[in-house]
Structure 1
Amino acid sequence: MTNATDPTFYRSPADAAAAPAERLAYVVAFDRAGDRPDALAVVDVDASSDRYGQIVGWADMPTRGDELHHFGWNACSSALLHAGHDHGDDGLQRRYLLLPGLRSSNVHVYDTRPDPTSPQLVKTITAQELADKAGYSRPHTLHCGPDGVFLSCLGGAGEHDGPGGIALLDHTTFDVLRPWETDRGPQYLAYDAWWHLTQNTLVSSEWGTPSMIENGIDPELLLSNSYGHTLHFWDLEKGVHQQAVDLGAEHQMVLELRPAHDPDASYGFVGVVVSTADLSASVWRWYRDDGAWAAEKVITIPAEPADPADLPPALAPFGAVPPLVTDIDLSVDDRMLYVSCWGTGELKQYDVSDPRTPREVGSLRLGGIVGRAAHPAAPGLPLAGGPQMVEVSRDGRRVYLTNSLYGVWDDQFYPDGVGAWMARIDTEPTGGMALDPAFFPHGDAFRGLRVHQVRLQGGDASSDSYCFR
């Protein structure tokens, strides 16, 4: 069976954790002005290498103004559940990275073989194809799934601001096939999409339509609780909406979804950026409750008081820094949850062995709107931005951070510039984190571009869903 031959398809979370460690990380970098091409950077993350922490590969996009944001592999361990599908002579392999342009609506496809440090462009899915065949724009997040590559999109096609939704792409040709939804019910806003694969359930979350985000955060929309605050649950096979769970209108921007990796589990975590009641951020657990889906807040992170003179204009009237939880990541063994507080510059580590009662076991700071905490590799360099995108290695021992959120939002909260940096954190199995002083690509290393999401060679904690225990 050729489809199961890729050694980076893991039958279980334990197999993934036991596999060889990543040696490379792929990082998307973008030009805020849109004058230069965005890029895919390849970073050496092998601590035994003489090029550790350095950029060892670079690929410019063929277009400008894409604003690369989230990206992912064409295939992952979920392929083991649909290995009987026809994927050509070579079978399905984790070799192509699909890079959506959140501004341009183009999707660039890069082949990481035969030389993983020299990705080669093989196809560009144009904004027109995405609009014509799926009816969507502003592609955001993608995952390899049972029927193809699922590409969540924030906007509708043409002049239609919404609804956002999911486009389905062919695993092998990367042709846009169709919209995934067959009955969207009340869903209109979109952001992330993930699933409980063996339970035929897809979960989706909400941010806002293009007009709500592309000019920056809109204070009127925020204070009127108009950004997303609902989880949606779907029949994965049929694309039919089944249930909406509203977290409460004050819980604005329900973003990153992290379902448990255990294929028998029926829970997951989602981060909420801000509460309009008190500027706190939160993490919620979704779970089955007597046959239906429910959600409960399990973590609350309060805002931190600050001198208005130290705050950007958007926050000065409040006299406080909101945590702004903009990413979360769950270790492959479902034990540790990492929560990035981009506003305060803090990364929090929680033991979620009991997912109902997370317990904070670690914290560190880098950057922050007020704190500007430095990295030990450059103690005299105040950092802008903060822990934003978080990626955890399969064995849970390493965490990678980047610092840019989204171009225009960076500018609102860090008006003096956000810069570019990437950090690695070493973790302890029972809790605790320490920054690696030898790993700190930043500034000119990324050629003046800002950096966002990280993907690890062979998979990572947020790229795969598993089919077996």
Structure 2
Amino acid sequence: MRWTIDPTFYPSARVAMESPPEKLAYVVALNPAAQSNGSLENPRGDILAVVDLDPDSKTYGQIVSQLEMPYPGDELHHFGWNACSSSLCPQSPHPHLERRYLVVPGLRSSRIYVIDTKPNPLFPEITKIIEPEVLKKRTGYSRPHTVHCGPEGIYVSALGNDKGEGPGGIFILDHFSFDPLGMWEIDRGPQYYAYDFWWHINQDILISSEWGTPPMVEQGVVGSLLMEGKYGHRLHLWDMRKRKHLQLLDLGEDNQMALELRPAHDPRKSYGFAGVVISRKDLSASVWLWFRDNSGWQIKKVIEIPALSVEQEKLPTLLKPFGKVPPLITDIDLSLDDKYLYVSCWGTGELRKYEVADPYNPELVGCLKIGGIGFQYSHPKNPQKALNGGPQMVEVSRDGKRIYLTNSLYWAWDEQFYPSGIEGWMVKIQSTPKSFEFEKDFFIEFAGFRPHQVRLQGGDSSTDSFCFP
């Protein structure tokens, strides 16, 4: 425990934007061999890679170390810090915590790793492992998915219950021991599917989204369920203190898989954005705005991105009947000043930049292309090399000037949409009000691994929540 406030805790998003640039990135990457070849004699585990982001360093733009997990087949997913700026919130202060540990869930194994970055940030170490049996017994959940640092504990969403079915939900880990404390929900109401969650922390409102139960996602998209509108298409509002379901916001059965949530960073604002992967009507993707006005909480579609036609022979089997590539919005990220929303289209290979100072009327102000189904857009460092995968997880630096992309979604889904296999890469983008372009010499290849999510040392735009305007 610290007796001074961690310098990476910021009372407001504005102060966070004035902080020093990040020098390291932590990236989880999947070992596909452990999933695809069950007969492999000694398959390797997934890794946490440390990437040098300091332009003055001799190893800039390189992987400087890899921490390999001791078990194969975890499928490391949306990890997060043990503590962040929410520790300064006056309603539940913990100012003597420090942003030190990465809490890394294994989505397929239901195992959670606690990784210490403090002794040597370049060579982090596993300090605790929460085994699946302990997690299921203590919380009633399995398939941990997303980690967020809250003021009174570490919140983690889970896709399934202890039997690997539904309902999914949220559980909490203790800030200090990392022991699972139990199921978060007291009254879940009609909520059954789970995925992401975030909050309007000053207003005691938590919002959660929907994907599906483990059997609906672990072997890839189930076409019949998609066309029948059976995947998640609702958002849920909760009383954060009472842990009670308040309201359901239904996007309609045509809008399948309501996934990533990004609330406004300014605690005075009552709105946020939700990404929807696909429309069963026309394969388009969309972004929706939830907001509160005099009539209460509501939701409306504010961005729609159409599917694109591609030659039949370039399409994976799943898409051949349609003759089109869906955008497949798999991540969105909002800059700390609430001005720019970045939307990754994993299918069409696009990263879109929207100006959202008026959240009800987003304006497209930039679009970069890399990878993509049937497109295989290259990177400036090697313009002759066709790339697979596409913009998947997107992370924005605290000052909003640097964007980091990785290209792997989830093993079974990678195999469906990119059947020739995904060669892992990570790229960097420079973003200002006047420019939006790839950094030409920053292209990191993950030999034998597929990178999923990036966390920046000291925090980033999807890590912290702030209690002061």
State yes or no: 1:42 paired with 2:50: yes
Partner of 1:134: 139
Partner of 1:144: 149
Amino acid at match of 1:278: D
Amino acid at match of 1:37: G
Amino acid at match of 1:254: A
Query: 1:286·1:295 contact (CA, 8 Å) conserved in 2?
Result: yes
Superposition misfits of 4+ residues, deviation over 4 angstroms: 1-4, 82-87
2:217 maps to which of 213, 221, 225: 213
Query: 1:328·1:338 contact (CA, 8 Å) conserved in 2?
Result: yes
Q: Deviations over 1:335-392 (max 9, x none)?
A: 0000000000000000000000000000010000011001111112110000000000
Q: Deviations over 1:166-219 (max 9, x none)?
A: 011101110000100000000000000100000000000000000000011000
Partner of 1:318: 322
Distance 1:84 1:466 in 2: 13
Partner of 1:92: 97
Per the TM alignment, residue 146 of structure 1 is displaced from its structure 2 partner at its CA by 2.3
After superposition, the Cα gap between the structure-2 partners of 1:379 and 1:464, relative to the gap in structure 1 and judged at 3 Å, is same
- Secondary structure of the structure 2 residue equivalent to 1:227: coil
Of stretches 29-38 and 260-269 in structure 1, the one that deviates more from structure 2 is 29-38
Partner of 1:66: 74
Partner of 2:40: none
Query: 1:349·1:432 contact (CA, 8 Å) conserved in 2?
Result: no
Q: Deviations over 1:218-253 (max 9, x none)?
A: 000000000000000000111100000000111000
Distance 1:131 1:176 in 2: 9
Map residues 302-313 of structure 1 onto 2, 5 A cutoff.
302-313=306-317
Per the TM alignment, residue 5 of structure 1 is displaced from its structure 2 partner at its CA by 1.0
Partner of 1:420: 424
Of stretches 323-332 and 139-148 in structure 1, the one that deviates more from structure 2 is 139-148
Unpaired runs of at least 5, structure 1:
none
State yes or no: 1:19 paired with 2:22: no
2:234 maps to which of 222, 230, 251: 230
Per the TM alignment, residue 292 of structure 1 is displaced from its structure 2 partner at its CA by 2.2
Amino acid at match of 1:142: V
- Secondary structure of the structure 2 residue equivalent to 1:133: helix
1:387 maps to which of 388, 391, 397: 391
Query: 2:88·2:94 contact (CA, 8 Å) conserved in 1?
Result: no
Distance 1:83 1:53 in 2: 40
Amino acid at match of 2:351: L
Q: Aligned residues: percent identity?
A: 57
1:277 maps to which of 275, 281, 284: 281
Query: 2:2·2:98 contact (CA, 8 Å) conserved in 1?
Result: no
Query: 1:288·1:294 contact (CA, 8 Å) conserved in 2?
Result: yes
Distance 1:154 1:127 in 2: 14
After superposition, the Cα gap between the structure-2 partners of 1:262 and 1:131, relative to the gap in structure 1 and judged at 3 Å, is same
After superposition, the Cα gap between the structure-2 partners of 1:264 and 1:3, relative to the gap in structure 1 and judged at 3 Å, is farther
Distance 1:224 1:255 in 2: 18
Of stretches 146-155 and 391-400 in structure 1, the one that deviates more from structure 2 is 146-155
Query: 2:94·2:152 contact (CA, 8 Å) conserved in 1?
Result: no
Map residues 33-432 of structure 1 onto 2, 5 A cutoff.
33-34=33-34, 35-81=43-89, 91-158=96-163, 160-290=164-294, 292-428=296-432, 430=433, 432=435
Partner of 1:468: 468
Distance 1:289 1:102 in 2: 37
Q: Deviations over 1:292-343 (max 9, x none)?
A: 2110000000000112121111101101110000000000000000000000
Distance 2:106 2:460 in 1: 22
Distance 2:297 2:192 in 1: 19
Unpaired runs of at least 5, structure 2:
35-42
What is the number of residues matched between the two proteins? 461
Distance 1:74 1:301 in 2: 35
Per the TM alignment, residue 122 of structure 1 is displaced from its structure 2 partner at its CA by 0.5
Q: What is the TM-score when the length of structure 1 is the normalising length? A: 0.96
Backbone CA RMSD of aligned residues = 1.3
Query: 1:4·1:83 contact (CA, 8 Å) conserved in 2?
Result: no
Per the TM alignment, residue 64 of structure 1 is displaced from its structure 2 partner at its CA by 1.4
Q: Deviations over 1:442-469 (max 9, x none)?
A: 1xxx341111000000000000000101
Distance 2:440 2:57 in 1: 15
Amino acid at match of 1:32: P
Per the TM alignment, residue 82 of structure 1 is displaced from its structure 2 partner at its CA by 5.4
Distance 2:418 2:404 in 1: 22
Partner of 2:39: none
